[in-house]
């Protein structure tokens, strides 16, 4: 499958059509050279994993703004504002109210949409730097009153973007941070880890974290493989995290077998975002699907394995971070994650528990 559609960094035709539609709003818009202005907003309003990739860059942008005497706020999704507060930033709760509309046109609530835009419009930013980087976010930011917008254009929004941030289709998201920082004239700041580490969760000290689920079934490693890992390391304590409603019905028996093991504790559906962060920050290792837990682990330097499927490690793995495991032999790779066109030879099933276990044995304190 092509790595892009209609020239955008997406493999979903529906998303590509939305991006093209937004780009027709002002088809003659041309990007300018970046210039700071005050007041400024920097935003990361996608998932928790994206935020943890962006945190060192956001910190660098805030630092540079302060040096320049630029008034700056950090726009985060309401569920993530506590993370920004721990970092000591002035936070603007902001969400992309249009995203659900494009998934389900009947879901649009005009009052909610304009209500979310009303807050920023009380003090409209002269400059908004959006690290989310898609057409929907660009439209939401402009509705919020931003006079100038800096964002990537590979996911649409070019008709609304004044300053184009560097990004190539399927570029590694970790490497991209340095390129964006260079354009903005700032440095990445990795000092936030100690501010966010907090104290370990009682009873979970020295416990390996197994992140079992993602929002899409086709990015989930078979649960029997997680069980094989826990059985291979009987002297190691494991904690299972994730959400039961993200587990396929045919795997419920495998889940029960995993949770019955004496060295596995069940924290499914029990952890807040802050608790998940604390758990991963103090874990000796993490084994996770390609989801936010992987990026949290990379942020804190936690060791372990990340299991890739529809999307590959070239885009979302950090060099020197979690060890990526991936089988790219599927003829449909990379693919749209919401469905699988090759269920009988599903890529996640081809990542063996033995290979992951062999790697874990190389980590301190995890001998079988």
Where does the chain show beta strands of DSSP type E? 40-44, 72-76, 91-93, 127-130, 149-151, 163-164, 208-211, 238-241, 264-266, 286-289, 304-307, 323-325
Which band of pLDDT confidence, cut at 50, 70 and 90, is reported for residue 5?
Answer: confident
Q: Judge whether 264 and 240 are in contact, CB under 8 Å.
A: yes
pTM comes to: 0.93
List, for residues 147-161, the tens digit of each pLDDT value: 999 999 999 999 999
Q: Judge whether 240 and 279 are in contact, CB under 8 Å.
A: no
Question: What does the block give as tokens for 308?
Answer: 């890739």
Q: Given a cut of 70, is residue 169 above it in pLDDT?
A: yes
Lowest mean pLDDT among 214-228, 279-293, 328-342: 328-342
List, for residues 71-118, the tens digit of each pLDDT value: 999 999 999 999 999 999 999 999 876 555 544 555 545 555 556 656
Q: Judge whether 262 and 238 are in contact, CB under 8 Å.
A: no
Lowest mean pLDDT among 18-27, 46-55, 172-181, 292-301: 18-27
Question: What does the block give as tokens for 20?
Answer: 């093209």
DSSP state of 40: E
- Whole-Å CA distances, 301 to 29, 170, 187, 271: 41, 24, 19, 21
Mean pLDDT of 293-320: 96
Task: Please tell me the predicted confidence (pLDDT) of residue 199.
Answer: 93
Q: Is 67 exposed, middle or buried (0-12, 13-18, 19+ CB in 10 A)?
A: exposed
Task: Please tell me the predicted confidence (pLDDT) of residue 343.
Answer: 92
Strand partners for 239: 209, 265
- Say how far apart CA 137 and CA 131 lie, in whole Å: 10
Task: Please tell me the predicted confidence (pLDDT) of residue 14.
Answer: 81
- Say how far apart CA 206 and CA 13 lie, in whole Å: 45
Tell me the helices (H) and strands (E) count for the chain, helix number first. Answer: 14, 12
Task: Please tell me the predicted confidence (pLDDT) of residue 112.
Answer: 57
Residue 142, phi then psi, degrees to nearest 5: -65, -40
Strand partners for 9: none
Task: Find tokens 């962060």 and name the residue.
Answer: 277
């Amino acid at each position: 499958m092509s790595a892009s559609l209609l020239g955008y960094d997406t493999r979903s035709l529906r998303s590509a059509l939305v991006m093209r539609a937004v780009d027709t709003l002002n088809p003659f818009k041309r990007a300018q050279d970046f210039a700071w202005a005050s007041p400024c907003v920097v935003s990361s309003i996608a998932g928790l994993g994206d935020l943890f990739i962006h945190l060192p860059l956001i910190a660098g942008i805030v630092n540079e703004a302060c040096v320049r005497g630029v008034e700056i706020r950090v726009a985060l999704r309401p569920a993530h504002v506590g993370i920004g507060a721990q970092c000591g930033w002035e936070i603007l709760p902001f969400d992309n109210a249009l995203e659900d509309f494009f998934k389900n046109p009947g879901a649009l609530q005009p009052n909610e949409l304009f209500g979310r835009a009303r807050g920023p419009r009380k003090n409209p930013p002269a400059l908004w730097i959006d690290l989310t980087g898609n057409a929907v976010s660009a439209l939401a930011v402009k509705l919020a009153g931003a006079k100038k917008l800096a964002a990537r254009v590979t996911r649409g929004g070019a008709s609304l973007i004044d300053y184009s941030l560097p990004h190539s289709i399927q570029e590694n998201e970790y490497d991209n941070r340095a390129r964006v920082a260079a354009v903005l004239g700032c440095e990445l700041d990795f000092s936030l880890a100690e501010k966010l580490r907090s104290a370990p969760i009682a009873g979970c000290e020295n416990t390996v974290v197994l992140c079992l689920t993602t929002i899409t079934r086709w990015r989930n490693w078979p649960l029997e493989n997680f069980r094989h890992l826990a059985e291979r390391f009987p002297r190691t304590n494991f904690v299972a995290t994730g959400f039961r409603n993200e587990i396929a019905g045919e795997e419920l028996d495998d889940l029960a077998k995993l949770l019955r093991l004496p060295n596995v504790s069940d924290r499914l559906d029990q952890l807040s975002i802050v608790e998940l962060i604390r758990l991963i920050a103090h874990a000796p290792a993490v084994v996770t699907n390609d989801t936010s837990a992987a990026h949290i682990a990379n942020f804190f330097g936690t060791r372990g394995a990340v299991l890739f499927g529809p999307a590959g490690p070239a885009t979302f793995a950090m060099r020197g971070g979690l060890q990526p495991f991936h089988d790219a032999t599927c003829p449909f790779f990379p693919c749209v994650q919401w469905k699988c066109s090759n269920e009988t030879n599903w890529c996640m099933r081809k990542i063996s528990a033995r290979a992951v276990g062999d790697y874990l044995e190389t980590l301190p304190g995890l001998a079988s």
